[in-house]
Structure 1
Amino acid sequence: MEQRMLLVHAHPDDESINQGATMAKYAARGTQVTLVTCTLGEEGEVLVPGLAHLASDKEDRLGEHRITELANAMKELGVTDHRFLGGAGTYRDSGMVWHESGHATAGEDVKEGTFWRADLLEATAHLVEIVREVRPQVLVTYDQFGNYGHPDHIQAHRVATYAVSLAAARSFRPDLGPAWDVAKVYWGAMSETRMREGLRKLRAAGDTTTFEGMDPEDDLGWWVTSDEFLDAEVDANDFVAAKLAAMRAHETQIAVDGPFFALSNNVGNEVWGTEYYRLVKGTKGPVDERGLETDLFAGLE
């Protein structure tokens, strides 16, 4: 079977942080990996002082710069098919603020043309066309809360979920291509157990700055998923270097001396080389002794 995987993410860098190792592993084994990014990430914080002038409150040219960052990241992962929903610049980054409860949320003044304010059917039709062209057996996106509440992540979840349904309906927009039913849909996840183990090792080693404020013995909030709800584990430890290189390519968003790169090789592999998923559409394939799939294409012929 010719394997095809489609990932739907909100901003450049989300894909590398969340599924970079998985993308690199599947691309290396010959799977057709397609990435759809919904915005250019125009509202992102600029971490490189020399590029601060690109920020949205200055020259507002960060989006065009992040197109190049994404292209460079995809080269590191070996992914040759990456697109922007509706074309680059169709939907603008909606920005976010931190809610008093600790999660991200939409700000009071969301600009016109942002992804959060996009017409759901219009945005979905753009993705339906891609789904019908690519014909993926597996689609990966965020959960209903966008992992931590970012409005663009939530909207990406909505668009991806709606697109899977409409792409399979042969009477919906036949001009967008023949109907296609995505066999398996996954939401990316972070294992609660694995995250706690990694944090414990970091704290035991005297590192109190990486994931500052997160206590391995306390509630980790929206960032993790209880292991009882995990369905798949992709061991891509051989591709940690590619994932970290892809993250470095997003230079305006991820500081190379920040928490992503402060991890020791051992803890870093555990936290970043193994990626977890929740199966939300389709039939679970063969599993290991823990009840987890080790291949997102498990059970597909």
Structure 2
Amino acid sequence: MPLRLIAVHAHPDDESSKGAATYAKYVAEGAQVLVVSCTGGEAGDILNEQLPEPARSRAHRDMAGHRRTEMAAAQAALGIDHVWLGYHDSGLPDAEKGETVRPGTFATVPITTSAAVLVRIVRRFRPHVMIAYDENGGYPHPDHIRSHEIAMEAWRTSGDPTAYPEAGAPWTIDKLYYERTFNPDRFRAMYAAMAERDPDAPELAEMATFLERFEGREDLSTSHVHVAEHLAARDAALRAHASQVPTDSRFFFWPPDVVAAIWPTEDFQLVESRVPTTLPETDLFAGIHEESA
């Protein structure tokens, strides 16, 4: 039986911007990777002004259906398995305008209700590794925070036969990681390398904005997966989400040769482990024996 990894994401496209090359790498090596999209991304806008007709018209008429089509293309690009948790995108309310999350959306559903669905998925898939967001959701979107909360509930309870007994036979996950793709050290290194290569590169301004947000923030990553050979699969998955990611986005599509030379890894933080392992790591499955698969 192969090694198995589950990644819990809030919206379609999150899986492609956070850890996609790692997923492609492990699939290529024979592991099974399952991405869970907690919501359908229905509240998203068209962020790509280059999106052509009729795709733009279809997205306006049926954003949920359009993003399902995009997700299917991203899934094929990475070779992963994929399931929808089935909840409605909460959107990102503007607190300054007094907006609140709409009732009935993912962030308003009780944690145990949506966690029960995730626990069922975990017990059916039987992963050895779980990747989730940190307690801030990576950034404070209500759906990202709720994704963290239900992932933690599943981590704690999926192996407990007294918890969610209707969700299937217990399964204990070996290791829990937070994704740390957007870590400050990576951005600093890439910014310096790209500035040296082309001081007038237009992407530097956007990268500088991120560096300001990272000011004073510690790099918490412990585990670094070499993915240089799988950047093309990641880029194909990102481009599949055309309503969200412009095909020429300089923010996402950094020069592959620079990435390979300066920061050829995707980075994660080992939060808890039920198997012995030594940090830092280069393999998220470190410490897990094949016979346990």
Query: TM-score by structure 1 length?
Result: 0.85
Higher RCO (C-alpha 8 Å, min separation 6): 2
Aligned to 1:274: 265
Output one character per residue of 1:22-50: Cα deviation in whole Å (capped at 9) or x when no partner: 00000111111111100111122212252
Measured after TM superposition, the shift of residue 207 of structure 1 is 4.1
Aligned to 2:205: 212
Measured after TM superposition, the shift of residue 241 of structure 1 is 0.5
Aligned to 1:11: 11
The percentage of aligned residue pairs carrying the same residue is 37
Hey, what's the Cα distance between the residues in 1 that align with 2:152 and 2:210? 34
Aligned to 1:201: 193
Aligned to 2:284: 296
Output one character per residue of 1:146-180: Cα deviation in whole Å (capped at 9) or x when no partner: 11111111110001001111212111222211111
> Which residue identity lines up with residue 124 of structure 2 in the other structure?
E
1:163 aligns with 2:164: no
**Contact 1:135/1:182 (<8 A) preserved:** yes
1:43 aligns with 2:35: no
**Contact 1:139/1:186 (<8 A) preserved:** yes
SS of residue matched to 1:21:
helix
Hey, what's the Cα distance between the residues in 2 that align with 1:33 and 1:209? 35
Hey, what's the Cα distance between the residues in 2 that align with 1:35 and 1:109? 28
Hey, what's the Cα distance between the residues in 2 that align with 1:250 and 1:235? 24
Cα 1:207/1:234, change in 2 over 3 Å: farther
Measured after TM superposition, the shift of residue 248 of structure 1 is 0.6
**Contact 2:188/2:211 (<8 A) preserved:** no
**Contact 2:8/2:151 (<8 A) preserved:** yes
**Contact 1:283/1:299 (<8 A) preserved:** no
Cα 1:168/1:25, change in 2 over 3 Å: same
Measured after TM superposition, the shift of residue 272 of structure 1 is 7.7
> Which residue identity lines up with residue 297 of structure 1 in the other structure?
F
**Contact 1:19/1:275 (<8 A) preserved:** yes
SS of residue matched to 1:16:
helix
Measured after TM superposition, the shift of residue 195 of structure 1 is 1.3
Hey, what's the Cα distance between the residues in 1 that align with 2:210 and 2:116? 44
Aligned to 1:70: 71
**Contact 1:184/1:283 (<8 A) preserved:** yes
1:141 aligns with 2:141: no
- Structure 1 runs (4+) deviating above 4 angstroms are 97-100, 270-273, 283-287
Measured after TM superposition, the shift of residue 16 of structure 1 is 0.9
**Contact 1:232/1:276 (<8 A) preserved:** yes
SS of residue matched to 1:147:
coil
Measured after TM superposition, the shift of residue 209 of structure 1 is 2.9
**Contact 1:145/1:153 (<8 A) preserved:** yes
> Which residue identity lines up with residue 36 of structure 2 in the other structure?
V
Hey, what's the Cα distance between the residues in 2 that align with 1:284 and 1:226? 26
**Contact 2:187/2:207 (<8 A) preserved:** no
Aligned to 2:171: 180
The Cα RMSD (Å) is 2.6
Cα 1:70/1:132, change in 2 over 3 Å: same
Measured after TM superposition, the shift of residue 129 of structure 1 is 0.3
Measured after TM superposition, the shift of residue 212 of structure 1 is 3.0
SS of residue matched to 1:75:
helix
Query: TM-score by structure 2 length?
Result: 0.87
SS of residue matched to 1:146:
coil
Moved more, 167-176 or 133-142: 167-176
Unmatched 5+ stretches in structure 2: none
Aligned to 1:103: none
Hey, what's the Cα distance between the residues in 1 that align with 2:32 and 2:74? 17
**Contact 1:214/1:220 (<8 A) preserved:** no
Unmatched 5+ stretches in structure 1: 101-105
Measured after TM superposition, the shift of residue 298 of structure 1 is 0.4
